[in-house]
Structure 1
Amino acid sequence: MKELSSSEVRQMFLDFFQTKGHAIEPSASLIPVDDPTLLWINSGVATLKKYFDGTVVPENLRIVNAQKSIRTNDIENVGRTARHQTMFEMLGNFSLGDYFKKEALQWAWEFLTSPKWIGFDPERLYVTVYPKDEEAKRIWQEEIGLSSDHIIEMEDNFWDIGAGPSGPDTEIFYDRGQKFNDLSADDPENYPGGENERYLEIWNLVFSEFNHKPDDTYEPLPNKNIDTGMGLERIVSVIQDAPTNFETDLFMPIIREIEQISGQVKYGANQETDVSFRVIADHIRALAFAIADGALPSNEGRGYVLRRLLRRAVMHGQKLGINQAFLYRLVGTVGNIMSSYYPEVLKQQAFVEKVIKTEEQRFYETINEGMEILDQLLAKEKSEQSQMIQGADIFKLYDTYGFPVELTEEIASGAGFAVDHAGFEEEMQAQRERARNARNKEQSMKLQSSLLTEVNVASEYVGYTTLETESSLSLIIQNEQFKDSISSGQAEVIFAQTPFYAEMGGQVADTGVIIDQSGETCAVVTDVQKAPKGQYLHQIDVKKNLQKEQTYTLKVDKKRHNSIIKNHTATHLLHKALKEVLGSQSNQAGSLVAPDYLRFDFSHFGQITAEELQKMEKIVNEKIWQALPVTTIETDIDTAKEMGAMALFGEKYGHNVRVVNISDWSIELCGGNHVKNTEDIGTFKITSESGIGAGVRRIEAVTSREAYQLSVQQEDKLRNVAELLKLPTTDSVVDKTEQLQQELEQALKENEQLSSRIANQQAENVFQDVKYINELSYVSAQVDVKDMNQLRQLADQWKQQKVSDVLVLATENNGKANLLAAVTPDKVNEGIKAGDLIKAIAPKVGGGGGGRPDLAQAGGKKPEGIPQALEEVRHWLEG
């Protein structure tokens, strides 16, 4: 057997099947496209469904691929077993009605045993077959020459997921030798196909030859297919003689880097820490690749999976003594290992690192407080002779403090506690009900009513070319009933043609009027939405009689419409400017185009500087002043992509699309309305920028008249400031403000010095009152200082003056209590720890805290409990 790297094995597999006439299908994104049934791409065949179901016919019926995949249904076992992973690579060769069993089995054998390729010893290979699959068994024996004792019949060797394609399969196993026996050679599971580590499955070949019908009968498929899968990590572990997948070159560089970061724990020294090394190495691979493919940590869907993986990895990092953000430092190592076939991680390394680092830092902000509270819960349950963490407590940790449920359960389980998961789910369901009841339903248009789902009348939008048209009234609905005519109230109507834009893609609907043949206004259009079958459904306030099948003039509010299209084109300019300033990884995550402002949401981790915002604003205005032509064409989706048109991630596009092209600088797929030339926008001004969720930020801006009005308002405010500063003009406002700022800083400094002197005077009095118990000296007192910082200053003086063995100080400020505890080093060595002391007394003031053995602090909402907290010091020291 050759010594091969993982990169060499992957390339060798692809090269081999190219020699057999296969076309290489590139590895697809981990995020499924047009497949709502999958959260992640979870196998090599998942991206080829379009070929297997006949939706798309490939140019070559023989396909080979190496596909990155994610499976998250068994996360808890990752690191604890030899082969569980969240992200893995699947090597596969596929036939779509071309070759079948004979070629598939012969080629598999050739690839594995030929000295030109992998070069396994044939005596080490075993296969399993479906008992009724006589053809596969015959090929293995008669054509390939495998002896009968190397062929095992297994009833489980039939691939079937219910109605649809199905068929027998054959698995190939490698005998790793006597040293991998689980117990002994007599172990009943110690055979190819059993649960053991000696005989390792490396390849599964599925013969899809039957159609499993709804009545549970099977009929032959007209075109028989081959679908195979060989885990790269598994076969590499065999080739590199690694005990598990994690000792291969796919993981060991990551593990060595983790060792360096830890600085105190080595892989292989301890079984439990080895689990932590493996979990981190596995999870960072999945995180790096998923984020590079466009997924971001969040609270739902695949984003929640990433957040869960990251937080589990952080917790395992703490078990290795790593108590700061570190996962982001592993991204480059992951990218380097995989770069020969997957360049995407290194190409986006800076962005991936930024996302992971930001998420780590946010987690650390919540984890310390959550751990303190969880420790208190465990102690409380233990004191009450309980071995169960209640669902309500798990929910509070999750809902109030952001502490992950799975981590609560994992830590509690590790401490020997059961968890009331059912109780947690009840709390979660109650919260969902509260949220559902609180939702605003004012905009509900009941589009899914049975009335509208049965409507088939045609409705054509003509607003791209005109804002006024004559059209026949096709349908009237009022009070959930079809009407032939109406004369008052509110109603929904559909016209054969309309210039009114229906709210879509972030652009709000047009408003306007409906005019009869005499020139009188019959109705005011207040909103337009798409009906279930795509018709333009106008919401109207009726002013006079409207008759079905009559012709009316539909007139859009031109002034409002023009304001909307200026803002819409401005969002395209902003989108492009944003990518130039922040990078191509920043993508649109939502928008609102209204007549008086625009709102643009986008993916980005970290803060955006004032300089970056100013740069974006400048770019947009420069494009406006350059008077760039804005053209819109209709074409097919493939041509649009060849033009370089940006498509929004997750959006569904039909075969024919509209492309909005701003002088080849910004090209986007968009069905909305736009100006003819950027100079029509006038000017552009950003009014605000903020974060609205994990990895999502929002910019709001105005254009044209609203931008001018904003400038006037800002000038008025500046003049008011100048008047307050008693300045004749606004020219010297900045200089005067800086002067006042310096004077304020000086005053604050003097105030701080005065406060310190007062604190020092208090210290002289407090430090004279030393108490004794059990040969321990301690000081406990309430002092009048302004914050925790001054408490620490007093603790520094106590330490310098060597006043006592233990110090506890308390103060009240703004209705809250602050506590501080300090212990001398020699007493810490004797087992007296400030952190333990502060935890014991903090509940008296309704709070919690922690810290180092020599210095700890706490806060609470019950300052009236300070005397009891100080009294508790004596009791604790006595105990």
Structure 2
Amino acid sequence: MKTDEIREKYLSFFEKQGCVRRPSDVLVPREDPTVLFTPAGMNQFKEQFMGINIDYTRATTCQKCLRTGDISNVGVTAYHHTFFEMLGNFSFGDYFKKEAIHWAWEFLTGKQWMNINPQQLTVSVYQGKHGFDEEAYRIWHEEIGLPDNRIAKLEEDENYWPASAPSEGPDGVCGPCSEIFYHPDGDSKEVEIWNLVFTQFNRVGDPPDNLRPLPKKNIDTGMGLERMASVMQGVRSNFEIDTLKQLCLAAGDVVGKKYSFDDPAGRPLRRIADHVRAVTFAIHEGVMPDKEKENYVVRQLLRRAVLEGYLLGKTEPFLHQLVPTVAEVMTSAYPELKETVASAQGTIKEEESQFLETIDRGLHHFESAVKSAGKSKSNQISGDDAFTLHTQEGFLIELVEAMANKKNLSVDRKRFDDLMLEFKDTSRGGESGFDSVMAEGPLDAIRKTSGPTEFLGYDSTTADGKIVGIIANKQLVESLEEVGHVLPVAVILDRTPFYGEAGGQVGDSGVLQADGLEFEVLTTQKQKELTLHIGHLKQGVLKLDQAVTAEVVSDRREGIRRAHTATHLLHYALHQTVGKDATQRGSKVDSDELRFDFAHGKSLTDDEIRQIEDIINERVSTGASVETAVMPIEEAKKLGAMALFGEKYPDRVRVVSIGEFSREFCGGTHLSNSGQVGLCKITSEEPVAKGVRRIKALTGPKALGQIRETENLVKELVTLLKTPGPAELPRRIEQLQEELRQTRKEVQKVASQNVSGLVDELIQNAETVGDVKIVTHVAENITREALRDFVDQLRQKGGPIAILLGAELDGKAALIAGVSKDLIKQGVKAGDAVKVAAKEVGGGGGGRPDMAEAGGKNPAALPAAIKAAADFYREKLGG
């Protein structure tokens, strides 16, 4: 039975049991700050498990997941992955143990389903410090008919979720589990294929009496699709199933090794297959290899895969060649992957090239670590050296160990691991604003009591509403009377015209008013279905249930509408100019300002930018109507509406259409026709990440203002350069540049003549320490090039010599040091001397041991700088 068939059979089976088939959630749940990647099927149902937003009480999914906790086991064991698919069925206060167990058994053993021999299945139930799950045992034993010797009774760490700590455990919903095991040969060897979790308690405080029965009990089950496929296909590893075996074989082809499960190259090729699948899915959703959060995880996965190929002898980029295979083998469930193959390949190839260059650059640092081990007569590379190679040189620890092994050395992993534990990823930074209360706590309480905020802003910028929540100091309060509260306050209304920041569009600003009350809204955020008006109390008292009038700053909203509609026009123009592969990777829409990130492997040419700008403004000039409609998501897709990959959409989506040429999923505010944009002017195009470019543009009054500013600048240049008109400016500038070049040549010539006259004099009058001359001098009326020539002439004529010259150039201090090469062996280095001197002029610099330069902001201190350098040379030479 093929993997795609198993997936479909599972979902169909549970649909027959009344479960609503839900699509997989996104791999990167951006509204959930508690995780970087979706780790399990239940993740998208957190609110339903808490009793919030229950539109249905039974669900089934196949969820794409990514975990890295067991990354070292990937490719080694039969069943570990980073990316995998989790089949699940869920109950939110509906069916419970009886149905969950009976349905699981029916699906596994039913002839039209999996048709597994019942004699090859055993189960487990919970028996531990919280007692014995007698109910589950009875169902398995008496109703399903399993004998006692096929029902294992397991402790907390195996059969309770979440498993508690040794003595206590995390507070929150929890419950016993029942696992189902498959025995390939009917013997003691077993494969866990399904876990049924019965969340029936709330764990509060310390044991033993800390379990409180939930008023509504839930079901959360998980079956690994790849593991089930290995059972149904009779293979010994998930990597041998129909989908992953294709990837392993393809990995062998591109690396130049024939894939076989038992071959020494089998393990690394399995890791490559796993990691490229994970990376492809993540990049498809807009996660770029970088140095923070989920981006860092993707970078590490990608580099680990490249490393496996490198250690197999593949020293050039190869991983990107596997992306089409990933899209092909996963196309049945995820056809959208094919739309980003080209951009994902470009991103991966660039990161591969950079990592391979990092390896080349770091080889001499590795050799230094080997020499250090030799000097200390150790058979280990020190943990400190391995840590430096890993964190500063980009050498993954696996690479350090593999290369050390080739030299019959090991690595002090204990010391390395200790250092890594101490190491903090400073790029993550702290959370700010209201992030820490978004996912739970005060907002959950408001959701449960008041429901969602009704948005009225598509039709109006003013509306009456009622205060249903006030958050100050991250706590829910019933009232607030502190005018100008130090930290921003969040006010939640039952209905509002304010647009909460979402989909790239910034939040509205404005005011909430009532008799004697004024609350200034600085920005508006949206957290799921609640809108947070964030700002400061200016007058009066805020109270729960208080009626207020909410008024948006309309001029700003109009500017946002212009920019947002122009963003859709820009997306259309990009596709017309560079092709459909220029998929949207993000955007920001502000008042008459926009930026648009898109997948593209190279910079746009000037002609392409002009063409894009022309297409946008041509569509503006037509005054095409802008229309919105709410429809089922599948209907919108059939109409060709474009969606942002990695964005989570509801079952019914809002579609914004401009004329007959642009149609996108969008919840933002827009104009009624394209002509209201007025004008769109592209201001820049630049890279922002591997394979991602950014266009910035202005609309309406800001676009016109920028054009007028440019016109004024041109007029000023015409006057200053005394040309008949703007058309003559290029010729006049070329003429001035040529005059400047000639002048510089003359200055250089005079400066060189002055230098030649001074060289002999300075050498003759130089201080001597031993047989070494120390020359320090502040030069006047000299160029930087002449200053360098000065040092060269002194070194040629002066024998053993140490030099520090200074000059004022363009209002700043310039310093240059030089020493004879024979002095370097004595520890006298130009770079050290120039650093000492630079401190005196308030600057810094460096360079080669024989010549180094520095600068500073205080030219008045040049005499002190050359004195400091002379003292340095004197000390080094023993004078």
**TM-score tier after normalising by the smaller chain length:** 0.5 to 0.7
- State the partner residue of 1:587: 584
Q: Structure 1 residues 288, 539: closer, same or farther in 2, change over 3 A?
A: closer
- State the partner residue of 2:66: 70
Contact 1:494-1:536 within 8 A present in 2 as well: yes
Contact 2:567-2:596 within 8 A present in 1 as well: no
Output the CA distance in 2 between the equivalents of 1:501 and 1:344: 34
- State the partner residue of 2:182: 172
- State the partner residue of 2:37: 40
Output the CA distance in 1 between the equivalents of 2:533 and 2:115: 66
Output the CA distance in 1 between the equivalents of 2:351 and 2:45: 33
Query: How much does 1:167 deviate?
Result: 3.9
1:678-697 map, 5 Å: 678-694=674-690, 696-697=692-693
Q: Which amino acid aligns with 1:261?
A: V
Cα distance per residue 1:424-446 (max 9 Å; x no partner): 554647x579x78xx9x9x9999
Q: Structure 1 residues 249, 493: closer, same or farther in 2, change over 3 A?
A: closer
Contact 1:531-1:537 within 8 A present in 2 as well: no
Alignment size in residue pairs: 711
Query: How much does 1:725 deviate?
Result: 12
Tell me, what secondary structure is at the counterpart of 1:105? helix
Structure 2 residues without counterparts, runs of 5 or longer: 164-172, 447-452, 466-478, 738-784, 786-814, 819-828, 832-845, 853-879
Contact 2:123-2:178 within 8 A present in 1 as well: no
Q: Structure 1 residues 237, 379: closer, same or farther in 2, change over 3 A?
A: farther
Q: Does 1:249 align with 2:245?
A: no
Tell me, what secondary structure is at the counterpart of 2:154? coil
Output the CA distance in 2 between the equivalents of 1:230 and 1:593: 44
Match of 1:602 among 597, 600, 611: 597
- State the partner residue of 1:851: none
- State the partner residue of 1:296: 288
Q: Structure 1 residues 28, 261: closer, same or farther in 2, change over 3 A?
A: same
Contact 2:381-2:411 within 8 A present in 1 as well: no
- State the partner residue of 1:826: none
- State the partner residue of 1:129: 124
Contact 1:28-1:68 within 8 A present in 2 as well: yes
Q: Does 1:206 align with 2:196?
A: yes
Output the CA distance in 1 between the equivalents of 2:422 and 2:224: 42
Q: Which amino acid aligns with 1:307?
A: R
Output the CA distance in 1 between the equivalents of 2:239 and 2:137: 34
Contact 2:107-2:113 within 8 A present in 1 as well: no
- State the partner residue of 1:89: 85
Output the CA distance in 1 between the equivalents of 2:534 and 2:212: 48
Q: Structure 1 residues 347, 175: closer, same or farther in 2, change over 3 A?
A: farther
- State the partner residue of 1:232: 226
Query: How much does 1:327 deviate?
Result: 1.0
Tell me, what secondary structure is at the counterpart of 2:609? helix
Q: Structure 1 residues 256, 101: closer, same or farther in 2, change over 3 A?
A: closer
Contact 2:27-2:37 within 8 A present in 1 as well: yes
- State the partner residue of 1:99: 99
Q: Structure 1 residues 285, 663: closer, same or farther in 2, change over 3 A?
A: same
Output the CA distance in 1 between the equivalents of 2:817 and 2:184: 67
Using the aligned pairs only, state the percent identity: 28
Query: How much does 1:311 deviate?
Result: 0.4
1:124-203 map, 5 Å: 125-130=120-125, 151=150, 153-156=152-155, 158-161=159-162, 163-175=173-185, 192=188, 199-203=189-193
- State the partner residue of 1:314: 306
Output the CA distance in 2 between the equivalents of 1:447 and 1:225: 27
Query: How much does 1:298 deviate?
Result: 3.0
Tell me, what secondary structure is at the counterpart of 1:250? helix
Q: Structure 1 residues 657, 206: closer, same or farther in 2, change over 3 A?
A: closer
- State the partner residue of 2:411: 416
Query: How much does 1:126 deviate?
Result: 4.4
Q: Which amino acid aligns with 2:201?
A: N
1:625-774 map, 5 Å: 625-630=621-626, 662-663=658-659, 665=662, 669-670=666-667, 675-694=671-690, 696-708=692-704, 710-711=706-707
Query: How much does 1:626 deviate?
Result: 1.0
- State the partner residue of 1:109: 109
Contact 2:4-2:332 within 8 A present in 1 as well: yes
Q: Does 1:258 align with 2:251?
A: yes
1:531-610 map, 5 Å: 566-578=562-574, 581=578, 583=580, 586-587=583-584, 589-591=586-588, 593-594=590-591, 598-610=593-605
TM-score by length of 2: 0.62
Output the CA distance in 2 between the equivalents of 1:137 and 1:493: 50
- State the partner residue of 1:862: 848
Q: Which amino acid aligns with 1:288?
A: T
Q: Structure 1 residues 129, 642: closer, same or farther in 2, change over 3 A?
A: same
Contact 1:816-1:863 within 8 A present in 2 as well: no
Q: Which amino acid aligns with 2:599?
A: H
Structure 1 residues without counterparts, runs of 5 or longer: 177-190, 193-198, 472-480, 518-522, 742-785, 787-813, 818-843, 847-859, 867-879
Q: Structure 1 residues 723, 313: closer, same or farther in 2, change over 3 A?
A: farther
Contact 1:202-1:230 within 8 A present in 2 as well: no
Output the CA distance in 2 between the equivalents of 1:410 and 1:57: 52
Contact 2:460-2:497 within 8 A present in 1 as well: no
- State the partner residue of 1:798: none
Cα distance per residue 1:621-676 (max 9 Å; x no partner): 1221012345679999999999998787788999999986645735564555x555
Q: CA RMSD, aligned part only?
A: 6.6
Query: How much does 1:447 deviate?
Result: 13
Cα distance per residue 1:539-565 (max 9 Å; x no partner): 7999xxx9999xx99999987776565
Query: How much does 1:229 deviate?
Result: 1.9
Output the CA distance in 2 between the equivalents of 1:466 and 1:577: 30
Q: Structure 1 residues 412, 216: closer, same or farther in 2, change over 3 A?
A: farther
Contact 1:470-1:553 within 8 A present in 2 as well: yes
Tell me, what secondary structure is at the counterpart of 1:251? helix
- State the partner residue of 1:282: 274
Tell me, what secondary structure is at the counterpart of 1:284? helix
Cα distance per residue 1:10-50 (max 9 Å; x no partner): 45555666777776554444334755444333344545556
Output the CA distance in 1 between the equivalents of 2:210 and 2:635: 45
Contact 2:524-2:531 within 8 A present in 1 as well: no
Q: Which moved more, 1:674-683 or 1:555-564?
A: 555-564
Contact 1:492-1:539 within 8 A present in 2 as well: yes
Tell me, what secondary structure is at the counterpart of 1:339? coil
Contact 2:359-2:395 within 8 A present in 1 as well: yes
Q: Structure 1 residues 61, 282: closer, same or farther in 2, change over 3 A?
A: same
Query: How much does 1:317 deviate?
Result: 0.6
1:474-493 map, 5 Å: none
Tell me, what secondary structure is at the counterpart of 1:166? strand
Cα distance per residue 1:534-593 (max 9 Å; x no partner): 686777999xxx9999xx999999877765654454334334544665537733534252
Contact 2:621-2:674 within 8 A present in 1 as well: yes
Output the CA distance in 1 between the equivalents of 2:64 and 2:436: 43
Match of 2:348 among 349, 353, 356: 356
Contact 2:566-2:616 within 8 A present in 1 as well: yes
Q: Which amino acid aligns with 2:174?
A: G
